[in-house]
């Protein structure tokens, strides 16, 4: 059952209907809510690119595509906004051509500094972040895709994990601000395997990809 639970302040609307491969139908939808009602964002998806940018107003916006057998459940529990991809597919549905890339993405806009924690997990597509500032923690996990970001700022820590993909971008703060752990297999890194001193944590794991992270004080 496709159910989307939301706070009263949220607006959910279907925008357009598109035809995909094999006759599958995709519906463009948007979820919008005031930032004061949400302090934590959790996105769990598979085979979806996740793009995060800065909202020009005080609202959180999530744009996405629902298919006939893969669709998003979006709910608010307390102050946590959860975006989860659900599937009714059987193994035979995975045979053949994938849907067009324009349907395999989630676009998120967040007001600057309005969120305490961000957790994003996806597979086989990129996670890209224009810029992101949170008061506590940022966690990005991608199995089968790259993680790229403009400027990440977190009050307590940043955790980045990529498998069969690279990690690159800039974190806000000086070198001395971070305790660092970095594990890289089958790739290159400009970070040390371990650096203990620092009030914030930068934890990076990368398998079969490169790591290039700069610091901006």
What pLDDT, in 10s, does the model give residues 170-197? 999 999 999 999 999 999 999 999 999 9
Mean pLDDT, residues 130-151:
96
Coil, strand or helix: which one is 21? helix
Condensed to tens digits (0 to 9), the pLDDT of residues 4-29 reads 333 333 444 444 555 544 456 899 99
Question: What's the whole-model pTM score?
Answer: 0.87
Whether 2 has a pLDDT exceeding 60, the answer reads no
What band does 94 get if pLDDT is binned at 50, 70 and 90? low
How far apart are the C-alpha atoms of 117 and 121, rounded to whole Å?
A: 14
């Amino acid at each position: 059952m496709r159910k989307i639970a939301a706070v009263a302040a949220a607006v959910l609307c279907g925008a357009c209907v598109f035809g995909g491969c094999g006759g599958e139908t995709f519906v463009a939808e948007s979820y919008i809510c005031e930032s004061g009602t949400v302090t934590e964002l959790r996105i769990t998806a598979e085979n979806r690119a996740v793009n995060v940018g800065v909202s020009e107003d005080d609202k959180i916006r999530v744009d996405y595509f629902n298919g006939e057998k893969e669709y998003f459940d979006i709910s608010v529990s307390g102050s946590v906004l959860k975006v989860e991809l659900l599937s009714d597919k059987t193994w035979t549905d995975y045979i053949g051509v994938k849907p067009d890339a324009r349907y395999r993405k989630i676009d998120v806009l967040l007001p600057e500094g309005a969120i305490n924690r961000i957790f994003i997990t996806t597979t086989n597509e990129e996670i890209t972040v224009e810029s992101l500032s949170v008061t506590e923690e940022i966690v990005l996990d991608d199995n089968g895709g790259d993680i790229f970001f403009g400027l990440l700022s977190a009050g307590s820590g940043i955790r980045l994990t990529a498998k069969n993909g690279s990690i690159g971008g800039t974190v806000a703060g000086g070198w001395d601000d971070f305790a660092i752990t970095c594990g890289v297999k089958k790739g290159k890194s400009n970070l040390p395997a371990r650096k203990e001193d620092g009030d914030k944590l930068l934890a990076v794991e990368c398998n079969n990809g490169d790591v290039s992270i700069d610091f901006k004080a």
